[in-house]
Structure 1
Amino acid sequence: MTAKEILHQMSNASTQSNPIWKQVGVPSRGESLFEMLANGFSYDTVQALLAEGLFQKSEFINITGIAPATLDRRKRDGHLNTVESDKVYRLLRIIDSATELFSGDQQKAVIWCRSQARGLGDRAPIDMVRTSAGTEAVIDYIGRIEHGVIS
């Protein structure tokens, strides 16, 4: 095995062992997640997501539909409300599912999420975060790709 292959495997392993949920401090499921959503995510979740470098703040605002002034208020308050937290949760779900699709490579996953997908009516997966139905359509589409049922 070459040094390049070893580095590639190490890079993939560290990305896979550090999924987006852990990176932003949010559980992916369970009672803790439900409680965090009900109480509103800490603003630190947004900061951690932006610190990962996957999105610029302006892109995050566009994706989630959270107005810049509202985001500034949430920063001062220290937490998002339930609706805003749910939007962030949906974004995290899509990133997580796409990252699994790309064998742990978040950068490739986010690039794919920004690209139009024929199976989503030529919409980019990331553009479907604003609604639960859109998010579920993306998750279903990723599942179809993983199982070789691309439409």
Structure 2
Amino acid sequence: MLLAKEYSLLTNQAPPKVASFEDLINSGLPADSVDNILSLLKIDREELAQLLNLSTRRIAQLRVVKKDGSEVQRLNKDASERALRVIKVFEDAIAYFGSQEKAQIWFSRPNISLGDKTPLEMCSTFTGMELVKHTIIKLQHGMTA
């Protein structure tokens, strides 16, 4: 399944059996995936809110997961898709730089080819994510990024 590895990274579990990637997105990521995103990217809640196009208040509400057997809170489909796609771009950076720590540093520093914005800032839109992916591809091919 498309983005199965990213789902596992964000949720610490195997993807559920669904017909398609779109079904997975429509059902939403579990709310506890927020903590994994914060940890993987080494970002704060404000940055995460911008990245997922959610308010900081909504992020804080998601962190309270009910354990009483009631339905677990989930990210909406837009935030779920953004989270999975950002983590895919971040994995591409890890693959190029060789470690999560180096990728975190690169993600947090302004980049000339991204208009002096950080890759993290650029990942707040799908177009920005594509530009970051393209920048990583340029690096992989020996071009200055």
What TM-score, normalized to structure 1? Answer: 0.72
Equivalent position to 2:130, from 136, 143, 147: 136
Query: How far is the alpha carbon of 1:113 from its aligned partner?
Result: 0.6
Instruction: Work out whether residues 101 and 142 of structure 1, in 8 Å CA contact, stay in contact via their aligned partners in 2.
Output: yes
Equivalent position to 2:80, from 85, 96, 105: 85
Equivalent position to 1:123, from 117, 121, 127: 117
**Identity in percent:** 23
Residue 96 (structure 2) pairs with residue 108 (structure 1): no
Aligned equivalents of 2:119, 2:88: Cα separation in 1: 11
Runs of 5+ consecutive residues of structure 1 not aligned to the other structure: 1-18
Partner of 2:67: none
- The 1:56/1:115 distance shift into structure 2, 3 A limit, reads same
Query: How far is the alpha carbon of 1:39 from its aligned partner?
Result: 1.3
Instruction: Work out whether residues 31 and 63 of structure 2, in 8 Å CA contact, stay in contact via their aligned partners in 1.
Output: yes
Aligned equivalents of 1:134, 1:47: Cα separation in 2: 23
How many pairs does the alignment contain?
130
Q: CA RMSD in A?
A: 2.6
Query: How far is the alpha carbon of 1:51 from its aligned partner?
Result: 4.3
Instruction: Work out whether residues 90 and 103 of structure 2, in 8 Å CA contact, stay in contact via their aligned partners in 1.
Output: yes
Instruction: Work out whether residues 37 and 82 of structure 1, in 8 Å CA contact, stay in contact via their aligned partners in 2.
Output: yes
Task: From the two aligned structures, give the one with the greater helix fraction.
Answer: 1
Runs of 5+ consecutive residues of structure 2 not aligned to the other structure: 65-71
